[in-house]
Amino acid sequence: MTKGTNASVINRWDLQEAIEALEAHRAILEPVAVDTAIAILRERLSLLRDQPATDAPIQVVVLVADLSGYTAMSEFLDAEQVRDTINAVWQQLDYVIRAWYGRIDKHVGDGMIALFGLSDGAEDMYERAVRAGLDIQLELQLFNAQAARLKQIAWPGDQTLQMRVGIHSGPIYWGKVGSSEQYTAIGDTVTVAERVEQRAPVGATVISQQVQRRVSDLFVLQAHALPAAADQGERLPMYVVQGESGDSMAELARQEPAPTRLVGRETPLAMIQQAVQETISGGMGQLVIVQGAQGVGKTRLAMELHRLLRTGPDLTTWYGRVAPELAHVPYALFRDVITRRCHIRPWQQDRSALTRLTAGLGGVLPDAPPGEVAQLTRTLGRMLAFAAFAHDSPVPGYGFEALARLFRDAAARGPVLLLLDDLHLADDRSLALLSYLAEACQDVPLAIVALANPVLAERPSWLQTSLPPLTVTLDPLSPIDARHFVNELLPNLSPLPQLLADHLVASSAGNPHFLIELVDQLIAGGIIDTSTQPWQAHVGRLRDMTVPTTLRGFYWWQYGRLNPPEQACLRRAAVCGPVFWAEAIRVETQDDAQVLPRLVEKGVIRPHRRPYLPEQAEYRFRHPLLRQVAYDTISAKERRTYHAFMAQWFDADAGRAFPLATAMANYHTDMAQRRGEE
């Protein structure tokens, strides 16, 4: 329907804005009235959720893929075999598209069109589409290899199925065509994406300049000169995606963009930067441990360090963190380092992960003979529990030596910065491996910068090195720096009311993350009005709003403002872990299913963008402390029941698709038994 033809028509964007407006003023409205109104609006919204509005263009990324070799295959296979083969291929490739939150628009013959950003319009839709393009190329290679191994297709010579992938972004209309009841993408953007695909080399993923501008820091690109599109009247610059960037930190900088410039951290930043520069110039290893309370800005400091060093001499950055949901998994820290460096997805199974692991390690050691790379792959794969080596027993000590050899060889080719986040969550084996690595690499240019909460000091014996590390402590911001930080957070609020600034500085105790949460809460509560330019502050309402003065207390306060069904949902999710799945927390009824979208709208949970189980609705807590708050409210009996259920779920439902399902099941079994003994 054309916009404006019927003023009574309300699309899903209008409904979403109305819900957000009610949530923003919840603090000053009657709670029951707000909940009732929002429930009605959500019911209307749920009817439209799968059918984006057609009265306005939607910005999306379009991926077009087309199989090459389909016609040749038809010459020596009967129609039924061709059908079964093509169906098997697309089932495998469609799974990858969905894993990156893409939507299959249509299959046409031996081609496919997929859309990214149709429902959410998230900024990461560009990189998701490109990664999906690379991944479906890999999956097709693996399909060919398996078919050859099993002799399923009698290809003549070395012929195989191959694919061209073209990716373009722009506006589309989402609607029905003719008498069809199916919604589809309509517009020039789809046409251009098809032309990009048609001009791609066989076996390659090619992107338009519109996509290139958004992802150039994440991928290795090569210009692909082509003639102008016939009816576009201009040249259509294209780029072949040769692979993903070797900078493991670049993705994090995209996922967690800095809200402001760095404030009050000049001295610690200079200390770390000097240590890294000494490694670069002197060719000697360094271990730097950055300690600070939760929310004080350790990761933000590391991101600033990375930004500054990227503009200097050649330096390869490796990054890894202890994912809280995997903190109990042996060597989880270095498993994350390797999977990020080798671009292994959390959901990839043994064949895909093994291929990426081998290629990634081979890229780090380009001069090593294939046999040595294969041996290194096996040794690290066993130690880090990759599914391809699930039945192999790791040889004690060999994994440590292999990892040290990897970093020594990498550093021999140029200085390396290894950034490790959330070290305080690391298991004992990860800490022992880090200690070994720091000692073994003292004579090569490897700078290790590890970020940790003060609780790491409760495990003082983990580090066994001949040279002591450089320890840098991050204290809370001083009142002056905290005030500067508030000014950075509220640039459109001019002048900044003195009473508001004093309230924020005093309430936050100099914790930058807490300051950000407080500002968000003031905006949500309507005390800071962002609908005008400049913004307006209703300082008089501050006395009507009571907010705790600690970060943990803030999350208790936020949890307490949720209604009982929302709290019950969070309790089940907290047992599941920092990352959880709708199916795993037993969301069964329609009422239950509406709770999760409400929690997303309130900012309590978020969709998980690095999914372990792409076919599931997967979420993560906004902050680890919020998850801990919810967990602390559960009785011992409920914890035992929930943990036992999770163990069964990982054993049965998730085990088929989650590479670390066994480790997760064992953890929940142990927790259920532990709670039973309390």
Type of residue numbered 574: A
Query: Looking at the domain that runs over 58-244, which CATH code has it been given?
Result: 3.30.70.1230
Place of tokens 């009507």: 544
648-651: long-range contacts at Cβ-Cβ below 8 A with a sequence spacing of 24 or more? Answer: 649/583, 649/584
| pLDDT for 386 | 83
Extract the residue ranges of the chain whose pLDDT is less than 50.
1-11, 13, 47-50, 53, 229-231
Per residue in 93-116, pLDDT (tens digit) is 999 999 999 999 999 878 999 999
Q: Which of 146, 139, 60, 53 is nearest to 99 (CA)?
A: 139
Count of other CB atoms within 10 angstroms of residue 492: 11
| pLDDT for 660 | 80
The Cα 333–Cα 412 span in angstroms is: 23
The SS3 assignment for 170 reads: strand
The Cα 638–Cα 624 span in angstroms is: 20
Contact 284, 445 (CB under 8 A): yes
| Structure tokens, 459 | 């495990």
Q: In Å, how far are 97, 277, 674 from 641, measured between CA atoms? A: 36, 53, 12
Q: Which of 454, 462, 470 is nearest to 431 (CA)?
A: 462
| pLDDT for 10 | 42
Place of tokens 């692991």: 357
Per residue in 50-93, pLDDT (tens digit) is 455 456 889 999 999 999 877 677 777 777 877 888 888 999 99
The SS3 assignment for 136 reads: helix
The Cα 616–Cα 260 span in angstroms is: 34
| Structure tokens, 297 | 């800005």
The Cα 117–Cα 59 span in angstroms is: 7
- Domain 250-474: CATH superfamily is P-loop containing nucleotide triphosphate hydrolases (3.40.50.300)
Q: Which of 419, 418, 423 is nearest to 291 (CA)?
A: 423
Q: Which of 360, 139, 167 is nearest to 248 (CA)?
A: 360
Q: In Å, how far are 24, 155, 159, 162, 503 from 73, measured between CA atoms? A: 59, 8, 9, 11, 71
Please report how many Cα atoms fall inside a 13 Å half-sphere around the Cα of residue 508, on the Cβ side: 31
| pLDDT for 53 | 47
- Written as one string, the DSSP assignment of 577-592 is -SEEETTTTT--SHHH
